[in-house]
Amino acid sequence: MHSAKALVAVELKRALSESLALQAHGGLHAKLSKAQGFVDGYMRAILDAKILTQDELLKLVAEVRSQVRGPGTVELPSERFAFTRAIA
Protein backbone atom coordinates (compact mmCIF):
# COMPACT_ATOMS: atom_id res chain seq x y z
CA MET A 1 0.00 0.00 0.00
CA HIS A 2 1.21 3.52 -0.77
CA SER A 3 2.13 5.81 2.06
CA ALA A 4 0.15 8.98 2.68
CA LYS A 5 3.28 10.98 1.91
CA ALA A 6 3.63 9.39 -1.55
CA LEU A 7 -0.06 9.83 -2.38
CA VAL A 8 0.01 13.49 -1.34
CA ALA A 9 3.15 14.06 -3.43
CA VAL A 10 1.53 12.48 -6.51
CA GLU A 11 -1.58 14.67 -6.17
CA LEU A 12 0.48 17.82 -5.64
CA LYS A 13 2.63 17.05 -8.70
CA ARG A 14 -0.53 16.59 -10.80
CA ALA A 15 -2.15 19.79 -9.58
CA LEU A 16 1.04 21.82 -9.88
CA SER A 17 1.69 20.53 -13.42
CA GLU A 18 -1.82 21.51 -14.42
CA SER A 19 -1.46 24.97 -12.88
CA LEU A 20 1.90 25.63 -14.56
CA ALA A 21 0.62 24.36 -17.91
CA LEU A 22 -2.44 26.64 -17.70
CA GLN A 23 -0.19 29.57 -16.91
CA ALA A 24 2.23 28.79 -19.74
CA HIS A 25 -0.53 28.39 -22.31
CA GLY A 26 -2.54 31.44 -21.30
CA GLY A 27 -5.41 29.66 -19.59
CA LEU A 28 -8.58 31.56 -18.69
CA HIS A 29 -8.09 33.74 -15.61
CA ALA A 30 -10.85 32.05 -13.60
CA LYS A 31 -9.54 28.55 -14.30
CA LEU A 32 -5.93 29.57 -13.64
CA SER A 33 -6.87 31.31 -10.37
CA LYS A 34 -8.76 28.24 -9.19
CA ALA A 35 -5.85 25.94 -10.02
CA GLN A 36 -3.31 28.22 -8.31
CA GLY A 37 -5.55 28.60 -5.26
CA PHE A 38 -5.90 24.83 -4.96
CA VAL A 39 -2.13 24.34 -5.18
CA ASP A 40 -1.45 27.08 -2.62
CA GLY A 41 -4.00 25.68 -0.18
CA TYR A 42 -2.84 22.11 -0.69
CA MET A 43 0.77 23.06 -0.02
CA ARG A 44 -0.25 24.97 3.13
CA ALA A 45 -2.19 21.92 4.37
CA ILE A 46 0.76 19.63 3.63
CA LEU A 47 3.07 21.86 5.65
CA ASP A 48 0.56 22.33 8.50
CA ALA A 49 -0.01 18.57 8.74
CA LYS A 50 3.77 18.01 8.60
CA ILE A 51 3.36 15.47 5.79
CA LEU A 52 6.29 17.03 3.92
CA THR A 53 8.96 19.39 5.18
CA GLN A 54 9.47 22.76 3.56
CA ASP A 55 12.67 21.47 1.94
CA GLU A 56 10.86 18.42 0.52
CA LEU A 57 8.08 20.64 -0.78
CA LEU A 58 10.50 23.07 -2.43
CA LYS A 59 12.35 20.18 -4.07
CA LEU A 60 9.08 18.74 -5.39
CA VAL A 61 7.96 22.12 -6.77
CA ALA A 62 11.35 22.69 -8.43
CA GLU A 63 11.20 19.22 -10.00
CA VAL A 64 7.71 19.75 -11.44
CA ARG A 65 8.53 23.27 -12.60
CA SER A 66 11.62 21.98 -14.38
CA GLN A 67 9.60 19.23 -16.09
CA VAL A 68 6.91 21.65 -17.28
CA ARG A 69 9.01 24.73 -18.11
CA GLY A 70 12.58 23.54 -18.33
CA PRO A 71 15.41 24.34 -15.96
CA GLY A 72 15.16 27.52 -13.91
CA THR A 73 18.70 28.49 -14.75
CA VAL A 74 21.25 27.48 -17.33
CA GLU A 75 24.97 27.97 -17.47
CA LEU A 76 26.18 30.24 -20.24
CA PRO A 77 29.73 30.40 -21.51
CA SER A 78 31.59 33.34 -19.98
CA GLU A 79 32.76 34.64 -23.38
CA ARG A 80 29.16 35.50 -24.14
CA PHE A 81 29.51 38.31 -21.63
CA ALA A 82 32.78 39.76 -22.85
CA PHE A 83 32.60 43.51 -22.46
CA THR A 84 34.74 46.08 -24.19
CA ARG A 85 35.53 49.42 -22.69
CA ALA A 86 34.19 52.36 -24.61
CA ILE A 87 36.53 55.31 -24.92
CA ALA A 88 34.74 58.64 -24.88
Per residue in 17-73, pLDDT (tens digit) is 999 888 887 877 888 889 999 999 999 999 999 999 999 999 999 999 988 887 777
Asked if pLDDT for residue 2 goes beyond 60, the answer is: yes
Per-residue model confidence (pLDDT) at position 51: 94
The answer to the question of residue 24 being in a domain is yes
Task: Give residue 1's pLDDT band: very low, low, confident or very high (50, 70, 90).
Answer: very low
Helices (H), 25-70: 29-48, 54-69
- Residue pair 43/57 in contact (Cβ under 8 Å)? The answer is yes
| CA 28/CA 25 separation, integer angstroms | 9
Main-chain dihedrals φ then ψ at residue 15, nearest 5 degrees: -65, -40
Task: Give residue 88's pLDDT band: very low, low, confident or very high (50, 70, 90).
Answer: low
pTM (whole model) above 0.85 = no
CA 3 to chain CA mean position, Å: 23
Number of continuous H segments (helices) and E segments (strands) in the chain: 3, 0
The answer to the question of residue 44 being in a domain is yes
Can you give the residue range of the structural domain that contains 25? 4-69
The answer to the question of residue 84 being in a domain is no
The number of distinct structural domains making up the chain is: 1
The answer to the question of residue 38 being in a domain is yes
